[in-house]
Amino acid sequence: MRLLSRKEEMILLAIWKLQGNAYGVTIREYIEEMSGVKWLFGAIYNPLGRLVDMEYVEAYDSDPLPERGGRRKTLYGLTKDGKVALERIRELQAAMWTDVPPLTEEA
């Protein structure tokens, strides 16, 4: 299992936090809200496609929605492997930050 990129990590976290309401628009809005940085849709969909290919994320269709003229949304959820990848990157980051000297000290 390879390490997640920062973008992949943020997308997986957004999907997990959105719990059943994770689709392209909500994932993008959540990341923008949390980071304060504007994201293009390509910045979401390209890594999202890789995450689906790696089987860290599953894609499924919503029920038909009247407000969308009966069209469905593609929703995303984490797989077991996606959860393992997120836990692994969290543990690695915690280990990397352990015993780091304060960053406010003069060099």
3-state secondary structure (DSSP) of residue 56: coil
Type of residue found at 84 = V
Residue-wise pLDDT for 71-106, tens only, equals 788 899 999 999 999 999 999 999 999 999 988 876
Q: How many CA atoms lie within 13 A of 60 on its CB side?
A: 10
Type of residue found at 55 = E
Q: Which domain holds residue 31?
A: 6-64+71-95
Type of residue found at 53 = D
Higher pLDDT, 64 or 28: 28
**Domain-located, residue 105:** no
**Which CATH number covers residue 26?**
1.10.10.10
**Domain-located, residue 101:** no
Total structural domains in the chain?
Answer: 1
**Domain-located, residue 89:** yes
Whole-angstrom Cα Rg for the chain? 16
Q: Considering the entire predicted model, what is its pTM?
A: 0.86
**Domain-located, residue 58:** yes
**Domain-located, residue 102:** no
**Domain-located, residue 38:** yes
**Domain-located, residue 100:** no
Average pLDDT over residues 66-72: 71
